[in-house]
Amino acid sequence: MRLENKVALITGAASGIGKETTLLFASEGAKIVAADLNDSEGQKTISEIKSAGGDAIYVNADVSKAVDCENMINSAEEQFGKLNVLFNNAGIMDSRDDNSQVTEEEVWDLTMAINLKGVFLGCKFGIPAMQRAGGGSIINTASFVGLMGAATPQVAYTASKGGVISLTRELAVIHARENIRVNALCPGPLRTELLMKFLDTEAKKQRRLVHIPMGRFGEAKEMAKAALFLASDESSYTTGAEFVVDGGITSAYVTPE
């Protein structure tokens, strides 16, 4: 039980990486606070955990709002007495996101509010809770595009994930002596609803797949296992890292002839 006696809060817990991570963390002994805006699917996740003998609560939270982020952290401490792991995972990939000329300001602002500000707010309220707990692990979902850029234009998303990586580094340095680790999980292209809605044509899918040495999209469960490593004491000397789990794409990111 790699997370026994730990309390973990996961945002975006109703689907994709968030849901798989929530289920995996619970199976490894963590008490779970699952946060999302999709109440019906979030409650289903909680039911699955409880059916398997785990302990979990659901909190409705819009991570772009400070009051919601403060409430989800407070809920963790009120229900379970502490917070040890914070997975700032909630994010969007707006289908209207394109190049700088096409992308509307509204799309830029919405993407930044959720993908980047949401991570900031999670840390703003989560770090004091971890200080009270004597330390902990924060995992922020970034992306390989924050390191490399994207083959399919999505400027707001790429910029937001680059911001997550920089924010992660900064917080890791600030809090390293407090036994608080902060790492960025950088997935490659995944077979999740989020990305498949964006890559809505076969041509778009192939533009991504041609760059991936492993020749396939990753799975949400694979990202959950990477998050488990960062959440557990096995990564006790890892902080400020870009933990890249991408099928090799960042090692072979070249334009095909």
Q: 134: phi > 0 → left, psi -120 to 50 → alpha, else beta; which?
A: left
**Nearest alpha carbon to residue 46 among 81, 75, 69, 84:** 75
Q: Which of 58, 157, 237, 253 is catalytic?
A: 157
Look at the alpha carbons of 100, 104, 110, 113 in this order and tell me if their dihedral is positive or negative: positive
Domain ranges of the chain: 7-244
Per-residue confidence band for 91, with pLDDT thresholds at 50, 70 and 90? very high
Question: How high does pLDDT run on average in the chain?
Answer: 94
Assess whether pLDDT exceeds 60 at residue 41. Answer: yes
Assess whether pLDDT exceeds 50 at residue 11. Answer: yes
**Nearest alpha carbon to residue 167 among 116, 94, 104, 215:** 116
- For 160-180, how does the pLDDT look when each residue is reduced to its tens digit (9 = 90+)? 999 999 999 999 999 999 999
Class of CATH domain 7-244: alpha beta
Q: What is the pLDDT of residue 205?
A: 78
Q: What is the pLDDT of residue 167?
A: 98
**By the 8 A CB rule, do 85 and 7 touch?**
yes
3-state helix, strand, coil in the chain (%, to 5): 50, 15, 35
- 70-75-76 Cα angle (round to 5): 105
Upper half-sphere CA count for residue 131 (Cβ side, 13 Å): 10
Model's pTM, two decimal places? 0.94
Q: What percent of the chain has pLDDT over 90?
A: 83
Q: Is 157 a catalytic residue?
A: yes
**Nearest alpha carbon to residue 6 among 40, 56, 72, 59:** 56
The DSSP result for 138-154, as a single string, is: EEEE--THHHH--SS--
